Amino acid sequence: MDSPTALGFDLSLTRSGVARVGPEGIECFSMGRAGKRDEPLQMRHSRIFDLARELVETAVAECTEWPLIAAIEDNPFGARGGSAHDRSGLWWQVYHQLDQRGIPVVQINVAKVKIYACGRANKLEKDDILLATVRRHPNAPITNNDEADAVNLALMAARLVGMPVEESLPQTHLRAMDGLAMP
């Protein structure tokens, strides 16, 4: 994609989803790095720093212009497994990488992502979001839940800057935009 409007990041240490959306459509990919909780601090730091750099560099690779905005899902502090400390480190490293490039970043709560994708946030599984996103965007190369979340984040960010990719969405889905503002 020559010049995407928005980026979306669903961050995880083992498999992060990244999406680019713009007038040319939707692109997405996922990547991660395996690690162990008992690794030495320097090794964990290097792994997190390298992953953040690779995520952002790949997201902006071959862009003729920087995206207008990037959206990152809130850090899921209540998530099971993994290290909340390391996930926070990844979140801040990705934010830093984007900020260094002058790309504004908006933080979006997971409940808003669910509402945007499905029209509601309660009693949803990750696969419900994947299915809804693939149905709405059958030509998008979405292969997993992380990419589906990243696509929704990028779509929300594009809508936030006044360049929605989708023609129309039901009001139940658009409620997710309430309270979001440009950084």
The domain segmentation of the chain, as residue ranges, is 6-177
Comparing CA positions, the residue from 144, 164, 174 lying closest to residue 28 is 144
Q: Which amino acid is at 143?
A: T
Give the whole-angstrom CA distance, residue 84 versus residue 70: 22
Judge whether 5 and 145 are in contact, CB under 8 Å. no
Is residue 79's pLDDT more than 60? Answer: no
Comparing CA positions, the residue from 152, 176, 180, 149 lying closest to residue 166 is 152
The pLDDT, as a whole number, for residue 78 is 58
The whole-model pTM stands at 0.94
Quick one: tokens of 107? 């933080």
Is residue 166's pLDDT more than 80? Answer: yes
Is residue 174's pLDDT more than 80? Answer: yes
Which ranges of 13-125 does DSSP label H, i.e. alpha helix? Answer: 41-60, 84-100, 110-118
The residue that leads in pLDDT, 128 or 61, is: 128
Q: For 8-17, 34-43, 90-99, 161-170, which range has the lowest pLDDT when averaged over its residues?
A: 34-43
The pLDDT, as a whole number, for residue 1 is 65
Task: Specify the fold of 6-177.
Answer: Nucleotidyltransferase; domain 5 (3.30.420)
Cβ partners under 8 Å of residue 17, min gap 6:
8, 9, 10, 28, 29, 30, 144, 145, 146, 147, 148, 149, 150, 151
Judge whether 87 and 13 are in contact, CB under 8 Å. yes
Read off the pLDDT band of 57 (50, 70, 90): very high
Cβ partners under 8 Å of residue 12, min gap 6:
32, 82, 87, 90, 146
